[in-house]
Amino acid sequence: MITSRINLEQQHSVVLHTYPYRNSSLIVHFFLKHHGKISAIAKGVNQKKSGYQQRVLLQPFQTNSVSLTGKHALLILKSVEASEPHWSLSGKALYCAYYLNELLLRLLPTHSDCSDIFLLYNKILTILATDLEHFEAPLRFFELKLLAFLGYGLTLDYDCESDLPIHQDKHYYYVLNLGASEKKPIHHPYLIISGQSLLDLEHYQFSNQKSLQQSKQLLKWALAEHLGHQPLKSREIFKQLFL
């Protein structure tokens, strides 16, 4: 529990999510470059006239410079100013971006330097905003890097039983927290995946649709271990709208 007063001044941030608080305020979940996921009360921003300008700056995907203070896990928003970049997101790209936000809301640590993931998040949103069709590969890259950042990285380049390099023409049994092996596991759940897919994911160069699909299945399984039983709302909405 936080007991000493925290003062965070002019922090580079992105808004992940907001929801109403009492009659006139919002609770805002920020992603701060050097402090991870931070929640704060934005007082009075739901007042029709006086709060309009701040409300505009507290929409999801809005980049800001924010100042926060407080003695508890839920801080108080002192000030917010717009900053760059600005993304124009629509259609599939928008819902993919909501998916990234939901992952970060569920998995990001608080009060921890997350600058690498922050920069990657900015990069992926820029890609989504400029390429409305080829969204699968950037999402897989983000998922892979997020898992590694959280300490749950996947071993993709060698056989965990033999220590031999993964061969593109072979098929492997992948066990979470262990890795890939040609030897079928007896006591662990596994996913069958091609060596080509493992190497493609390792090098972020997907050679075909099968490789991309198998990589998606592996990463979905790996993330599920840490997301818990509650399904991702963004994933369900995407299925309903586009699949």
Amino acid at 98: Y
- Do 32 and 8 meet the contact criterion of CB atoms below 8 Å apart? yes
What is the predicted pLDDT for the residue at 3? 62
Residues 232, 224: Cα–Cα separation, whole Å: 10
What is the predicted pLDDT for the residue at 50? 64
Q: Is 178 helix (H, G, I), strand (E, B) or coil?
A: coil
Q: Which residues contact 143 (CB under 8 A, 6 or more apart)?
A: 103, 219, 222, 223
pTM of the model: 0.92
Complete domains list, the chain, with CATH: 6-82 (2.40.50.140), 87-243 (1.20.1440.120)
Under DSSP, the state recorded for 161 is T
Give me the tens of pLDDT residue by residue for the chain, a chain 243 residues long.
556 789 999 999 999 999 999 888 999 999 999 999 999 999 988 877 666 788 889 999 999 999 999 988 899 999 999 998 888 888 889 999 999 999 999 999 998 999 999 999 999 999 999 876 778 899 999 999 999 999 999 999 999 999 999 999 999 999 999 999 999 999 899 999 999 999 999 999 887 899 999 999 999 999 999 998 788 888 788 777 765
Phi/psi of residue 45, nearest 5 degrees: -75, -15
- Do 129 and 87 meet the contact criterion of CB atoms below 8 Å apart? yes
> How many helical (H) and strand (E) elements, i.e. helices and strands, does the chain have?
7, 8
